[in-house]
Structure 1
Amino acid sequence: MLRLNVLVASVALVIGSPAVAETPLTVVIVTAQSTELERGISLTGEIVARNSLSVSFPSGGRVESVEVREGDVVEAGAVLARITAIQQEQALRAARAGVSTATADRDQALEDLRRQDALLERGATTRVSRDNAADQTRVKEGVLAQARADLDLAEKALEDTVVTAPEAATVTARYAEPGQVVGAVEPVVELALGGAVDAVFDVPENLMTSTNQIEHVRMFPLERPSQLFAGAVREVSPLVDPTTGTVAVKVSVDDKPNGIEYGDAVRGSTTESVGEAVVLPYSAMSASAQGPAVWVVDPKTMRVSLAQITVDRFETGNILVADGIEEGALVVSAGAQLLYPGRLVRTEAGTNE
């Protein structure tokens, strides 16, 4: 009987006692902050003349001489190359002889016409004879005009055996050598006109379609990485190279650094904005059966819940969250291993709450 009384008393004591308060778990809490996302793009390109000219012969032939080399600076009218001109010289001599003969024949026809006019005035010849002389004069004048045209063509053909610089320029390429047979309009020399230069980059097509419009590019020569300069995108080719799958992008170099030459390889880089993301310390990342997640604290109750997130990318010490967390949310960054949904937490003094 005594034992029963003790048991009843013990039960009554337990039932009548107040509930034991839940002890908050001490964690480190950070505030989610939004940041603008940037993507870096870096490619290798080449310095080229903004205005260039491919010099060629109007007609084909065997190259007799090339007077310039790459890097030479030439003045307007400077001889660049010659082709063998034996046939053109022979044609010119024949054309000159033709003009001389046609001139003599025309002069003789004029003399005959004047004589027929004089005889006709005295009645010593007929109108038919006089008209025949006039017809012959017109024929001879036509022959002379054709001979002169042939002479002009022969002189032009001889001139075309020599190519000259149309203006002051720099030789950027030499395509032909003495003895080589070249066709009509086949490039022999490449000239850079003026001093303006561009940097040309072959940009992958998929990068062009996924990239926002880029205006400025930072560059440096591969051989001199410390020599930095900048440029602006001047032209984007509308065509895709079918062999490489790239698009040619020209970047103007308006303030060309000393030592930059045509053909120099340069490295160009730029950044573009690709939206915004929430930045959290890497230690805040947890996981669930559905994938990456973080523990979010309700500021009113200080209880946690697991929120699924979409990670944009990882950076040193941080994760960039594309979706699942809003800016300003309270996220547990340390101590998450002891958490469960609804767990009461508190933060130590001095932590970012």
Structure 2
Amino acid sequence: MPSELRLGAGLAALILLAAAPLAAEPPLTVDAVIARPSTEARVYKLTGEAVAHETLSASFPAGGRIAEMLVAEGDRVTAGEKLARIESVQQEQAVRAAEAGVATAEASYRKAREDSARQDALLERGATTRSARDAAADQLRAAEATVAQAHADLDRAKKALSDTVLLAPAAATVTDRKAEPGQVVGAAQPVLELALGHSFDAVFEVPEVMLTSFPTAPMVTLTRLNAPGKPFRGVVHEISPLVDQARGTVKVTVRIIDPPPGLGYGDPLIGSVTRPGGQRISLPWSAMSATEKGPAVWVIDPETRVAHLRRIDVLRYETGKIVVRSGLKAGEEVVTLGSNLLYPGRTVRVKEEE
């Protein structure tokens, strides 16, 4: 045999020996899922607190030093019940001075009335002049005005004394004490925060961007932090027009429709809302791979069972899964576990097929 033929036969044998292991490589066993679009519903959850639907800040009409606080946070009070008291030494002295003024004015009035009556009698007998009788009548009218002024001063002093005691305007619950005994407060400065009635609201600090996700105000599902298995309902009642510059949040108030028994002011609440969406394909996070151009997944050819790397566009990443915007079709088979061992053209076998 010529040397050229022997050399060609040897090279052919080497090529066949080198190619034999590749042809005999068994399919790689992987896990896979079928890409199926499903209705996407996103659930947003935030933590807030329960507050009173109607609140009132109680304050003294006049300033002074607080002598006594008669209620504490959480106390239920009735209409007219005493809540607090400021020092009233000056007001009591003013009342006593006004009472003395009334007594003096009334004594002067009685004397003027007697003088006027005596002048009338003397004038009838011709024992006095008409000018003297008119002067006595003028003194009587002046005494009447002095009595009226003295009674007005007494009423004003008594009102100032009554203003040193803070009374509950209606049946309410004390939610906050804003002052303590010994503290000097000004006129109309809030001393107590009162919750009127038994209605509840829930207050949440909502990120501004989240408000753009809902065209209309959604129904809110609420749960207490210590009782998550007992949900109740709420509706959006008010959205603040202001954005917190430091946190980028908006204050949203939710009216609680059916508050559960035992719910208290300040209790932490979890509010959740659901936003329905369109049909999207979701894949487990383990299906993610990548190319130099971005995210990708391994798709299995249904006939040849060969895996091919395909570029996809990811809408968003969520806990445990990715939501695909484009790049996959319904019914395609995607490798989830084992993609790190794949290369283009590798034959695979899904674990369930074994």
Q: 1:295 & 1:46 partners in 2: Cα distance?
A: 47
- Stretch moving more, 139-148 or 290-299: 290-299
Q: Does residue 144 of the first structure (1) align with residue 147 of the second (2)?
A: yes
- TM-score w.r.t. length of structure 2: 0.72
SS of aligned partner of 1:110? helix
What residue is the counterpart of 2:53 in the other structure? 50
Q: 2:86 & 2:327 partners in 1: Cα distance?
A: 74
Aligned-residue Cα RMSD (Å) equals 4.0
Picking from 222, 230, 233, the partner of 1:230 is: 233
Contact map agreement 1:32 1:330 (CA 8 A) in 2: yes
Instruction: Give how far 1:68 is off.
Output: 1.6
Deviations 1:224-281 (A, max 9, x none): 4444433222222233345554322222334332332222222323232355534456
Contact map agreement 1:284 1:332 (CA 8 A) in 2: no
Q: Does residue 252 of the first structure (1) align with residue 255 of the second (2)?
A: yes
What residue is the counterpart of 2:117 in the other structure? 114
What residue is the counterpart of 2:96 in the other structure? 93
Change (3 A) 1:96 1:276: farther
Picking from 52, 63, 66, the partner of 2:66 is: 63
One-letter amino acid of the counterpart of residue 89, structure 2: I
What residue is the counterpart of 1:35 in the other structure? 39
One-letter amino acid of the counterpart of residue 224, structure 2: F
Q: 2:36 & 2:227 partners in 1: Cα distance?
A: 42
Deviations 1:198-247 (A, max 9, x none): 222222334334554333132222x4444443322222223334555432
What residue is the counterpart of 1:218 in the other structure? 222
Picking from 268, 283, 288, the partner of 1:265 is: 268
Picking from 170, 174, 177, the partner of 1:174 is: 177
What residue is the counterpart of 1:208 in the other structure? 211
What residue is the counterpart of 1:239 in the other structure? 242
Contact map agreement 2:315 2:324 (CA 8 A) in 1: yes
Q: 1:48 & 1:313 partners in 2: Cα distance?
A: 35
SS of aligned partner of 1:140? helix
One-letter amino acid of the counterpart of residue 240, structure 1: V
Instruction: Give how far 1:324 is off.
Output: 5.4
Contact map agreement 1:313 1:320 (CA 8 A) in 2: yes
Contact map agreement 1:293 1:307 (CA 8 A) in 2: yes
What residue is the counterpart of 2:334 in the other structure? 333
Contact map agreement 2:312 2:326 (CA 8 A) in 1: yes
Query: Structure 1: which 5+ runs fail to align?
Result: 1-27, 341-347
One-letter amino acid of the counterpart of residue 208, structure 2: E
Contact map agreement 1:32 1:280 (CA 8 A) in 2: no
Q: 2:325 & 2:269 partners in 1: Cα distance?
A: 34
Instruction: Give how far 1:92 is off.
Output: 0.3
One-letter amino acid of the counterpart of residue 334, structure 2: S
Change (3 A) 1:132 1:206: farther
- TM-score w.r.t. length of structure 1: 0.73
Deviations 1:88-108 (A, max 9, x none): 111001111111111222232
- Give the number of aligned pairs: 317
One-letter amino acid of the counterpart of residue 221, structure 2: V
One-letter amino acid of the counterpart of residue 52, structure 1: T
Q: 1:170 & 1:52 partners in 2: Cα distance?
A: 9
What pairs with 1:335-350 in structure 2 (closer than 5 Å)?
A: none
Instruction: Give how far 1:153 is off.
Output: 0.8
Q: 1:228 & 1:215 partners in 2: Cα distance?
A: 13
Percent identity for Structure 1 against Structure 2 = 53
Change (3 A) 1:244 1:294: closer
Instruction: Give how far 1:62 is off.
Output: 1.8
Q: 1:263 & 1:59 partners in 2: Cα distance?
A: 30
One-letter amino acid of the counterpart of residue 232, structure 1: V
Contact map agreement 2:205 2:250 (CA 8 A) in 1: yes
Change (3 A) 1:217 1:57: same
What residue is the counterpart of 1:4 in the other structure? none
Instruction: Give how far 1:155 is off.
Output: 0.7
Instruction: Give how far 1:333 is off.
Output: 2.6
Contact map agreement 1:219 1:228 (CA 8 A) in 2: yes
What residue is the counterpart of 2:186 in the other structure? 183
Q: 1:332 & 1:283 partners in 2: Cα distance?
A: 14
SS of aligned partner of 1:255? coil
Change (3 A) 1:29 1:184: closer
Q: 2:78 & 2:158 partners in 1: Cα distance?
A: 24
